[in-house]
Amino acid sequence: MAGGNGRVGTGAGRACRRAPSRRGGERTGAPPRRGVVSWDALLVLVPVLLAGLLVFHSAVPNAFGRLGSLLETFLPWLASAFPVLLVAALLRRSLAGACALLLALTAWAGVFGGRLLPPSGTDRDDLTVVQHNISDENPDPAAAARELATTGAGLIALQEVTEGALPALTAALAPRYPHRAVVGTVGLWSAYPLTDVRRVDIRPRGIAEGWDRGLRATVRLPGQGEVAVYVAHLPSVRLGWDSGFRSADRDESARLLGAALAAERLERIVLLGDLNGTVEDRGLDPVLARLGPPRSGHAFSWPASFPLARIDQVMARNATVREIRALPATGSDHLPLAARIRF
């Protein structure tokens, strides 16, 4: 019996050794479960995705929360992921990840690299203009105006011009800019004569009367002839967790402005304004279909404390905006912009 029991025990031992040990329903000898996507795969997929968003951003739909416009507002900042991806590729020694990152860098350079190049030629014949949302809460708008005047610009366009600030602004700018036109809360100060000044109706549906944020004036430039200058302030956009990127009013106002530009009789147009959108944002397409944006310079203008996007714009038709740059802060939540235009 003892021998039998020994044989039974030995057989049972062999059976136990042969029986697969399971833990959580898996064999202990099986290879460890891998994640759905490995780190090395992510180092390839993420740069390729970024490259796709940079080149094909217009394919991102606007149907839900206007995600496409939101992406386009901050599109240049996709490059902020590049240093992290580079470090990760070096740590993982991932040649494929480095190549994918090079693809993303190439895509970014193709979209934005031209703006980093200096403008060609001299500025001898250029018209300098200044665009600034001076803010209705600016603590010293007169000081801001005097600072803008030191640029020597031929034209200065301002938004959020309040009735209370208008006398101080006019007094500060009058020595160099004797000609001015103000409609509602937008104004144009000029070193050259202004004629045919009129209101441009860009008021979206549902906004009460008295909302005047567009004007048009004819400027006679020495040696250049007449130019139609538009000053505009499109409605603000809002970003909320529940509603997404709200830009419907801005988009409607842009369509109205685009229609006014299409009807302009003068061949040459300059637009100066706070358009509350970047030139990549499809919401401004009705305007961009009529005018050309700057060729050189990123010039982020908002918010002044940490500029993330250029929502203030200088555009032209039958003229070239050769360069745009941001100027020092003035007490507004926007930075002023100076641009050089060649006719």
- The CATH number of the domain holding residue 212 is 3.60.10.10
- Evaluate if residue 12 carries a pLDDT over 60: no
Residues 129 and 100 in one domain: no
Residue 336 lies in a domain: yes
pLDDT at 240: 77
Question: Residue 46: what are its φ and ψ, rounded to 5°?
Answer: -65, -50
Do 301 and 276 contact (CB within 8 A), yes or no? no
Cα torsion angle, 69, 118, 313, 166, sign? positive
Token pair of 296 as six digits = 């050189």
Reported as half-sphere exposure (CB side, CA atoms, 13 A), residue 324 has a value of 28
Spatial distance between the Cα atoms of 42 and 38, rounded to a whole number of angstroms:
6
**pLDDT over 90 for what percent of the chain?**
78
pLDDT at 30: 52
Q: How confident is the model at residue 31 (pLDDT cuts 50, 70, 90)?
A: low
Residue-wise pLDDT for 207-219, tens only, equals 988 999 999 999 9
Residue 84 lies in a domain: yes
Token pair of 337 as six digits = 């912009």
Token pair of 225 as six digits = 């002839």
Residue 158 lies in a domain: yes
Residues 221 and 99 in one domain: no
Residues 198 and 297 in one domain: yes
As a whole number, the mean pLDDT across the chain is 90
pLDDT at 239: 83
Q: Which of 56, 82, 115 is the last residue of a domain?
A: 115
Give me the domain span that covers residue 63.
39-115
Cα torsion angle, 137, 139, 142, 145, sign? negative
Q: Which of 115, 148, 166 is the last residue of a domain?
A: 115
46-56: average pLDDT: 97
Residues 222 and 184 in one domain: yes
Q: Is 228 helix (H, G, I), strand (E, B) or coil?
A: strand
Q: How confident is the model at residue 159 (pLDDT cuts 50, 70, 90)?
A: very high
Residue 11 lies in a domain: no
157-161: average pLDDT: 98
Residue-wise pLDDT for 258-269, tens only, equals 999 999 999 999
Residues 153 and 205 in one domain: yes
Spatial distance between the Cα atoms of 224 and 152, rounded to a whole number of angstroms:
18
Residues 163 and 219 in one domain: yes
Range with the poorest average pLDDT among 91-105, 133-147, 170-184, 239-253: 239-253
Residues 271 and 126 in one domain: yes
Phi-psi region of 39 (alpha: psi -120 to 50; beta: other; left: phi over 0): alpha
Residue 75 lies in a domain: yes
pLDDT at 22: 44
Do 87 and 98 contact (CB within 8 A), yes or no? no
Q: Which of 160, 295, 10 is nearest to 18 (CA)?
A: 10
Give Cβ neighbours of residue 93 (< 8 Å, ≥ 6 apart).
none
Do 38 and 45 contact (CB within 8 A), yes or no? no
pLDDT at 246: 87
Residues 232 and 194 in one domain: yes
Range with the poorest average pLDDT among 49-63, 87-101, 118-132, 133-147: 118-132
- Evaluate if residue 145 carries a pLDDT over 80: yes
- Beta 225-233 vs 269-274: how paired, if at all? parallel
Do 310 and 95 contact (CB within 8 A), yes or no? no
Residues 200 and 245 in one domain: yes
Residues facing residue 338 across a β-bridge: 130, 325
Q: Which of 115, 144, 165 is the last residue of a domain?
A: 115
Residue 69 burial class via C-beta count within 10 angstroms: exposed 0-12, middle 13-18, buried 19 and up: buried
Residues 72 and 130 in one domain: no
Residues 70 and 210 in one domain: no
DSSP 113: G
Q: How confident is the model at residue 125 (pLDDT cuts 50, 70, 90)?
A: confident
Q: Is 48 helix (H, G, I), strand (E, B) or coil?
A: helix
Model-level pTM? 0.85
Residues 166 and 244 in one domain: yes
Helix (H), strand (E), coil (C) string for 230-247: EEEECCCCEEECCCEEEC
Q: How confident is the model at residue 276 (pLDDT cuts 50, 70, 90)?
A: very high
